Every structure is written in structure tokens, then in C-alpha cells.
């Protein structure tokens, strides 16, 4: 199968990268090693790495996305950008040391509930104490969709894959709390998405 540049391009990334950067700037100011889960096209990675020259940005994703990520990393190289790790959240994470920041965008609604649980288990295992977890994407709150378009989007997701779908913020927060993380920032973002910042305040007893 041949790929065109279009295959490796996401308009959503172009639209959301600047508003996400604004949120990340103060949070990652003192971070050193960011692990991105589900880098997708790699567009976010090349953009954010340029704005955080003091830190190392580690891309990762499932194998099918690696070609696209390499494409963007080759087109827009930065010394602080790392080639993608083969990381499926449901498998052991291939990290040699803990990271002090984890970023993921538009992934949790693609994942099944079991995958999201595996994601938080991995975060609990691999994020240092005082480390930052930043998540961008659509979430439901108090049993409600944030917009009609998100309701339609959820139907579309479930038609494609019945185990995917927009998750409840309250459930996400519970999973984070179980791993010793506390929600510090919940910001409304363009296109009815949320930006969430969690800080790891203690080790989960499950990971000790």
C-alpha cells in the first residue's frame, strides 16, 4: 500500500495545536522527558518539540502509525524529538526509565474501556512523583454530552467500533485518583474538547 502526504495529515491537529500549546507551556516548563501516547500523524510532536527545546519529546504509537510519524520527524527534525516507540497501552510499556510528563490527545475516545484502564495503569507505573499528565479530547460530564456534535461523533465512533466512544470525565478522574494522580486543571477548549492536567502526588499502593 502506498501512502501520500495526505494520509499523514490531520486538520484537527493543525487546528488544536496552538490552543493546546498555550496550556502546556506553563506545565511543561520544568519537565525533562515527555512521553506522548498515540502520536498519530506526528504533527503534534514536531510542533511541540520546537516549543520545548529544553525537554526530550518521545513519540509512540501502534505500528500502523509509525511510517507517518517518521515522515513528519524527517520533514521537520528537532534534536529533542525521539523516534516512535512501539507502544500499545495494553502491552508492557517499552520504557527503560520513568518519565516526568505524559501527553496524549484524542486517544481515550478511540480506546475501549479496558484500554483506558490499561492507559492509567501504565501512567501510574511510569510517571515520576510530581510528574504531569496532560490529556486533550472530548469527555462527557454529569452524564451529558458537551454538544450535539459530540453526541453525533459518539454514534459515529460506536458504529465503527462498538467498544470505543466518548468517556465520562468522572470515570477518568477516578482511574487517575487510583494511580495517585489529582486533577489540577480542567479547561474548556475549542471544538467542545477539554484539556485536563493531572499531577501525580503519590504512588498507588497497587504499583508498590
Ligand X SMILES: C[S@@+](CC[C@H](N)C(=O)[O-])C[C@H]1O[C@@H](n2cnc3c(N)ncnc32)[C@H](O)[C@@H]1O
- Find the shortest distance in angstroms from Cβ 205 to ligand X: 25
Q: Which of 30, 149 has the CB closer to ligand X?
A: 149
What residues contact residue 177 under an 8 Å CB cut-off, 6+ apart? none
Q: In 10 A of CB 81, how many CB atoms?
A: 21
State the first-to-last Cα distance of the chain, in angstroms, to the nearest integer.
45
What residues contact residue 155 under an 8 Å CB cut-off, 6+ apart? none
Q: Which of 156, 182 has the CB closer to ligand X?
A: 156
- Find the shortest distance in angstroms from Cβ 45 to ligand X: 9
Strands (E), the chain: 33-37, 56-61, 81-86, 99-105, 127-137, 139-140, 167-168, 181-189, 193-200
- Find the shortest distance in angstroms from Cβ 203 to ligand X: 23
Q: Which of 39, 56 has the CB closer to ligand X?
A: 39
- Applying CB under 6 A, which residues contact ligand X? 10, 12-13, 37-41, 44, 61-62, 65, 87-90, 105-107, 110-111, 115
Q: Which of 31, 104 has the CB closer to ligand X?
A: 104
- Find the shortest distance in angstroms from Cβ 140 to ligand X: 17
Q: Which of 115, 185 has the CB closer to ligand X?
A: 115
DSSP code at position 77: -
- Find the shortest distance in angstroms from Cβ 119 to ligand X: 7
Distance CA 146, CA 16 (A): 17
Contact 85, 59 (CB under 8 A): yes
Amino acid at each position: 500500500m502506498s501512502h501520500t502526504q495526505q494520509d499523514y495529515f490531520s486538520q484537527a491537529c493543525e487546528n488544536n495545536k496552538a490552543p493546546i500549546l498555550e496550556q502546556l507551556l506553563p506545565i511543561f516548563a520544568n519537565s525533562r522527558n515527555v512521553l506522548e501516547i498515540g502520536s498519530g500523524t506526528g504533527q503534534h510532536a514536531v510542533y511541540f518539540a520546537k516549543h520545548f527545546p529544553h525537554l526530550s519529546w518521545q513519540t509512540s504509537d501502534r505500528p500502523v502509525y509509525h511510517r507517518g510519524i517518521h515522515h513528519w520527524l524527517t520533514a521537520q527534525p528537532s534534536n529533542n524529538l525521539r523516534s516512535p516507540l512501539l507502544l500499545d497501552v495494553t502491552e508492557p510499556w517499552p520504557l527503560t526509565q520513568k518519565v516526568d510528563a505524559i501527553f496524549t490527545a484524542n486517544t481515550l475516545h478511540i480506546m475501549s474501556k479496558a484500554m483506558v484502564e490499561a492507559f492509567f495503569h501504565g501512567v501510574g507505573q511510569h510517571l515520576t512523583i510530581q510528574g504531569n499528565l496532560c490529556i486533550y479530547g472530548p469527555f462527557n460530564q454529569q452524564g451529558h454530552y458537551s454538544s450535539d456534535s459530540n453526541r453525533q461523533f459518539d454514534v459515529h465512533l460506536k458504529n465503527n467500533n462498538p467498544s470505543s466512544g466518548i468517556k465520562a470525565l468522572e470515570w477518568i478522574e477516578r482511574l487517575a485518583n487510583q494511580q495517585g494522580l489529582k486533577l489540577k486543571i480542567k479547561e474548556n477548549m475549542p471544538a467542545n474538547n477539554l484539556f485536563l492536567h493531572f499531577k501525580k502526588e503519590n504512588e498507588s499502593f497497587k504499583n508498590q
